[in-house]
Amino acid sequence: MILGSFCAAFAVYSAYVWTAATDIPQHRPPGDQVKAGLALFQEKNCIACHQLYGLGGHMGPDLTNVVSAPDKGVDHAKAFIESGTSKMPNFNLGEKQVDALVQFLKFVDSSGTYPAKTPEMSWYGTVAYGAAKHTQ
């Protein structure tokens, strides 16, 4: 009887481990708009002044999470890309191109966080990741 319950528990737990527990989140592949945005990002050489994941030029801020930063966001990013500023050139892009660049930035944003989240170790040895800090 007890052995039977252990066998049943083993079977149920095995099924769980092989299904739900192995269901890791998948990063969606980039769509056409994202690819068009990447092509523009390269063509206009945005990386000469900006960084993604901390890599690139340092005239402008890192763009990895600009579309999800609490004090920035999609409309903020759009405004800069559409009009430029005294420090960033206006590329005179069409609406479609601006949207493609925003979609590309959203894709980058969904791939991770920069700067990396700071791990905090609890006194009993587990590690928890706090909220990412946006420094710019």
Give me Rg for the CA atoms of the chain.
22
Amino acid at position 88, single letter = M
The minimum distance between CB 22 and ligand HEC, in angstroms, equals 37
Q: What distance in Å separates the CA atoms of residue 8 and residue 16, rounded to the nearest whole number?
A: 12
Note whether 28 binds ligand HEC by CB under 6 A: no
Among positive and negative, which fits the CA dihedral 40, 45, 50, 54?
positive
Residues 91-120 that bind ligand HEC (CB under 6 A): 91, 101
User: Hunting for tokens 């946006």 — which residue is that?
Assistant: 134
The minimum distance between CB 132 and ligand HEC, in angstroms, equals 14
Q: Which residues bind ligand HEC (CB under 6 A)?
A: 41, 44-46, 48-50, 59-61, 63, 66, 72, 77, 80-81, 85, 87-89, 91, 101, 136
